[in-house]
Amino acid sequence: MPATNAEIAELFKRFADLLEIEDANPFRVRAYRNAARVVAGYSRRMTELLAEGRDLDELPGIGKDLAAKVEVIVRTGKLPPLEQLQKRIPRAVSDLLHLPGLGPKRVKLLFRELNIRGFEDLKRAAGSGKLEGLPGFGAKTVARILASLETRSAGPQRFKLADAEQIAAPLLAYLRKTPGVKRVEIAGSYRRRRDTVGDLDIVVTGGRDSPVMARFVKYDAVAMVLSEGATRAAVQLRNGMQVDLRLLPEISYGAALYYFTGSKAHNIAVRKIAAAKGLKINEYGVYRGTKRIAGRSEKELFAAVGLPYIPPELREARGEIEAARAGRLPKLIELSDIRGDLHAHTKATDGHDTLADMAGTARARGYQYLAITDHTRHVTVAHGLNAKQLLAQVRAIDKLNVKFKDFHILKGTEVDILEDGSLDLPDSILKELDMVVAAVHYQLDLPAAKQSARILKALDNPYVHILAHPTTRLINARAEISVDMAQIFRAAAAAGVALEINANPKRLDLDDIHARAAHQAGCKLVISTDAHSIAGLADMRFGVDQARRAWLETGDVLNTLAHRQLLQALAR
């Protein structure tokens, strides 16, 4: 299987990390980091573009040299310069960069001074007190490293949902070309749209003589065949993900899809309901004794046990069965309900596309509005705007808005919440904007009481409309900040500040649990992409996935409103 965009981006990112550890030219490092962002966020797979004969150097930030390297990775799955560099710096060294607080400078120090070559070396050194003798490694830093190492080893590897999609899409296309196969679908946590996926459970229908099992285990991305039989097989892919495949007759499609989709707790609860009616559920159907009475479709299965259809996202044993019995299941929000995006960045700060390009793409998606919320001055790494620069952007937006009759660019900013809870720009500037998105970006390790007080003070500012990525987590990379979320929810609801479900696949923050709790506390919610490119605007669906898992309906999300109603709803 040709390399996915995620795999290409990971190789470029790893190469940039190792180059930085080696003190390489910073412009070269930046070029590879930028290429990783472009490839990871691009809406189409690189392999498709190459198959069409496209010149990849047409992509932003991808010159001829990088385009050639993308082509090599697509063909071979390898980046030769990276392999050469890894002979000098082991791959496990760059893995250390995934821990919070360990940038290239610190990792380089660990490697050169203590010969630390991986997580186990680091854990031993931290536990023995060796780290505290190094510059920049105080007691707090060492404690944070140890906590991160414990979190990392607490459970099996899970993949971000968006990365799992890139793995799943070509595999499904491959299997669907198998003779005799009628349906191929993914079940499990992937179908429930959890923010992370441990493995893929694939349901295939067709005859027992179908060659799908033999074809499955010969898939190019398979690194190891774990088991192979006539109706079931399991493999491990080269990225470490396990994939299980089950072959069943068409008449069992609904039962199998149901059986392998729900969480264990949900499935047990439904089986108990079935047992009380003298029924048995398995992957082949619903049975009364030896007679099969349902299973061709999921709706048929649910009806057999006296329940309405429960959407996959809700099958977590969090009250959905009780709600179904009482006729109180929510009518979940759909992607088509979204009228606009309320968090996006341009080239004015750390985005990759112009104001006009971002607006044009949002309009082409059928949106009524897009909020431009570039960073403010405190986020120096993102070249945040000062007051003068932000007002110049406001004038540019006013000028561009004149050209639209059916679309509105909202004038906004993502303003930093400073350590004391004040904002990075004065109210005299913020009041000139249509909306203000406030966010925490630094001092993430404050004690819960201080972190909570900081955010609560920001919520009191009358010009703040939305609290962005409230827990600041990065999936598989950075834990949530310590904060009293229940207190934040109560304060936001009282102040009329909306909380964001950030749809960036690396964040998905608020997650489904927090989003549901926020809604139950009376909070307004928005779903925004935090897009830094035109490709990033397509991430909205990941935020909608989490909103659905949070039981949210259309009326619970503000950016399902038309433009005028939205501004009224945001008003403090």
Regarding whether 534 and 484 lie in a shared domain, the answer is yes
pLDDT of 119 higher than 80? yes
Q: C-alpha angle with apex 170: 169 to 175, nearest 5 degrees?
A: 100
Residue that terminates a domain, selected from 275, 295, 325? 325
Quick one: pLDDT at residue 154? Answer: 53
The number of C-alpha atoms within 13 Å of 280 and in the hemisphere containing its C-beta is: 9
Regarding whether 457 and 502 lie in a shared domain, the answer is yes
pLDDT tens sequence across 241-271 = 999 999 999 999 999 999 999 999 999 999 9
Domain housing 113: 5-152
pTM for this prediction: 0.83
pLDDT of 120 higher than 90? no
> Within its chain, how far is the Cα of 282 from the centroid?
32
410 vs 138: which has the higher pLDDT: 410
Regarding whether 292 and 218 lie in a shared domain, the answer is yes
Regarding whether 441 and 309 lie in a shared domain, the answer is no
Regarding whether 307 and 271 lie in a shared domain, the answer is yes
Quick one: pLDDT at residue 269? Answer: 96
Is 330 part of any domain? no
| Coil, strand or helix at 400 | helix
150 vs 570: which has the higher pLDDT: 570
The domain that holds 50 is classified in CATH as 1.10.150.110
Quick one: pLDDT at residue 401? Answer: 97
Is 17 part of any domain? yes
Regarding whether 549 and 412 lie in a shared domain, the answer is yes
pLDDT of 360 higher than 80? yes
Contacts of 1 (CB under 8 A, 6+ apart): 170, 171, 174, 219, 220, 221
pLDDT of 238 higher than 60? yes
Regarding whether 481 and 396 lie in a shared domain, the answer is yes
The end-to-end CA distance of the chain, in Å, is 52
Quick one: pLDDT at residue 4? Answer: 81
Residue that terminates a domain, selected from 325, 351, 386? 325
Query: How does residue 152 score in pLDDT terms, banded at 50, 70 and 90?
Result: low
Flag the least confident range among 53-67, 203-217, 272-286, 347-361: 53-67
- 183 burial (CB, 10 Å; 0-12 / 13-18 / 19+) is middle
CA-CA distances (angstroms) from residue 250 to 215, 255, 301? 19, 10, 14
Regarding whether 482 and 454 lie in a shared domain, the answer is yes
Region 7-35 average pLDDT: 89
Residue that terminates a domain, selected from 325, 354, 373? 325
pLDDT tens sequence across 162-193 = 999 989 999 999 999 999 999 999 999 999 99
Query: How does residue 454 score in pLDDT terms, banded at 50, 70 and 90?
Result: very high
CB atoms within 10 A of CB 131: 24
Q: CA–CA separation, 11 vs 72, rounded Å?
A: 12
Query: How does residue 2 score in pLDDT terms, banded at 50, 70 and 90?
Result: low
Q: CA–CA separation, 10 vs 15, rounded Å?
A: 8
Nearest to 497 by CA among 526, 540, 527: 526
Quick one: pLDDT at residue 151? Answer: 66
Rama region for 289: left / alpha / beta (φ>0; ψ in -120 to 50; rest): left
Quick one: pLDDT at residue 189? Answer: 97
The two tokens of residue 4 are 């996915």
The domain that holds 292 is classified in CATH as 3.30.460.10
> Within its chain, how far is the Cα of 288 from the centroid?
42
Regarding whether 39 and 170 lie in a shared domain, the answer is no
Quick one: pLDDT at residue 347? Answer: 93
Residues 15/89, Cβ–Cβ less than 8 Å = no
One DSSP character per residue, 494-532 reads HHT-EEEEE--TTT-BS-HHHHHHHHHTT--EEEE--BS
pLDDT tens sequence across 36-45 = 888 887 778 8
Regarding whether 43 and 67 lie in a shared domain, the answer is yes
CA-CA distances (angstroms) from residue 426 to 61, 167, 433, 464? 35, 46, 12, 12
Percent of the chain with pLDDT over 90: 70
263 vs 220: which has the higher pLDDT: 263
Average pLDDT, the chain: 92
pLDDT tens sequence across 193-207 = 999 999 999 999 998
Quick one: pLDDT at residue 47? Answer: 87
Region 460-476 average pLDDT: 96
The residue with tokens 């398979």 is 222
Flag the least confident range among 4-13, 224-233, 514-523: 4-13
Is 319 part of any domain? yes
pLDDT tens sequence across 394-446 = 999 999 999 999 999 999 999 999 999 999 999 999 999 999 999 999 999 89
The domain that holds 401 is classified in CATH as 3.20.20.140
Is 166 part of any domain? yes
Identify whether 102 is preceded by a cis peptide bond (ω within 30 of 0). no
Percent of the chain with pLDDT over 70: 98
Is 70 part of any domain? yes
Query: How does residue 149 score in pLDDT terms, banded at 50, 70 and 90?
Result: confident
Is 448 part of any domain? yes
Q: How many domains does the chain have?
A: 3
Regarding whether 320 and 246 lie in a shared domain, the answer is yes
Regarding whether 191 and 146 lie in a shared domain, the answer is no
Query: How does residue 89 score in pLDDT terms, banded at 50, 70 and 90?
Result: confident
Q: CA–CA separation, 365 vs 285, rounded Å?
A: 41
pLDDT of 76 higher than 90? no
Quick one: pLDDT at residue 139? Answer: 81
